[in-house]
Amino acid sequence: MAVRSAGAEELPGSLRYNRPMATLPAAAGTFVIPGDEFEPAYLALHRSGELRRRATEAVERLRHCLVCPRDCGVDRLAGKTAACHTGRYAQVSSYFPHFGEEECLRGWCGSGTIFFSMCNLRCVFCQNYEISQAKRGQETSPERLAAMMLELQGRGCHNINFVTPEHVVPEIIEALAIAAELGLRLPVVYNTSAYDSMDSLRLLDGIVDIYMPDFKFWDSALSLQYVKARDYPEAARRNVVEMHRQTGVLKCDEQGMARRGVLVRHLVMPGAIAGTESIMRFLAEELSPDTYVNVMAQYYPAGRVSDSQFVEINRRLTGAEYSAAVEAARRAGLWRIEDHRPLRVR
């Protein structure tokens, strides 16, 4: 599951941004898409009829589900479920204007976030266990999902932000086709753990405006131990390259709002077990030194982490650990870095 909040918790109304923010560094020079030149990617596919065709193809793929790298092969159209505990329809746990995401997503009216229940990973430190594993969501028809998007647009949100979407890509495309028909005009954010299948990413090509992968681990043995997927690093490496191929580096409009490209998140872990240095080098060398990276500091023990299990990560980060992660990013040549120092860490 993607980490729920990138920075501050949801703010009370009086503390929300109520005016356009100052232009962010990310909105300088070649990283700008003028607002009047921007159109969400999926609208061209909608006009040509390709979005409907993709939706039909994507839903058909639920018949023998290979939607994510788990490759379960179950017939979700017949309501069968497997590792993600999700059948024909997506389950939504909540949707609302989110003021805890990156500034270039939340702006002054919030990111129109839709949280899907269940997950194809099993992070032992999951901070959203109730959503990712406990089946607390509402089964949602494509029409209802489209209505949620339109409601968020009506509330002034800057984008539609699909959180933990890896196992419900067909349902998302199906609903987007309906929403586009009914007037959706916001950019789409795909807020993923990066444990996606290449088939899903190909279906999303030309649909997603902003890819936001959370690149969690570099080492396959540690991935097996902490997110229960030995092939996670291989999938994440392949997928961020594909996301970059589709959308390029992150570009914003003149007000600093994200419009297109890849925004990578990376949660720094205690003891440097995430492999931050290798991940940052990979991003700089295989994507671009201009890759936008949020180096996240908000790890805290949660999920199955306790005094008796996974004790080595049963603590918060130290300031030194977080600083080392930011420095690793800089040493790799990255410069569009969200750096959250000073921290409330030990």
Please identify, using beta-carbon distances, which residue of 204 and 305 lies nearer to ligand SF4.
Answer: 204
The C-alpha atoms of residue 312 and residue 314 are separated, in whole angstroms, by 6
How many Cα atoms within 13 Å fall on the side-chain side of residue 275? 18
Tokens 């080098």, located at residue: 281
Helices 142-154 + 169-181 axis angle, to 10:
60
Query: Can you read off the two tokens belonging to residue 27?
Result: 């909105």
Q: Does 24 bind ligand SF4 (CB under 6 A)?
A: no
CB of 71 to ligand SF4, least distance (A): 5
Position 235 contacts ligand SF4 (CB under 6 A): no
Q: Round to whole Å and give the CA distance between 212 and 166.
A: 12
Told to check if 83 binds ligand SF4 by CB under 6 A, we report yes
82 binds ligand SF4 per the rule CB under 6 A: yes
* For ligand SF4, the closer CB: 65 or 293: 65
CA-CA distance, 234 to 260, in Å (whole number)? 25
Would you put residue 228 in left (φ > 0), alpha (ψ -120 to 50) or beta? left
Binding range to ligand SF4, per CB under 6 A, among 44-52, 70-78, 210-218, 257-265 = 70-78
Provide, rounded to whole angstroms, the least separation between the CB of residue 190 and ligand SF4.
15
Residue 68 touches ligand SF4, criterion: CB under 6 A: yes
Span 260-279, contacts to ligand SF4 by CB under 6 A: none
Q: 329, 295 in Cβ contact below 8 A?
A: yes
Contacts for 234 with CB less than 8 Å, ≥ 6 apart: 220
71 makes contact with ligand SF4 (CB under 6 A): yes
Residue 200 binds ligand SF4, judged by CB under 6 A: no
Question: 249: which DSSP letter?
Answer: B
The region of 26-34, 40-48, 82-90, 309-317 touching ligand SF4 under the rule CB under 6 A is 82-90
- Among 41, 67, 92, 179, interactor with ligand SF4 by CB under 6 A: 67
Binding span for ligand SF4 by CB under 6 A among 17-25, 83-91, 279-287, 329-337: 83-91
Q: Residue 221's closest CA among 207, 232, 211, 212?
A: 232
- Applying CB under 6 A, the residues found at the interface with ligand SF4 are 65-68, 70-72, 74, 82-84, 86, 120, 167
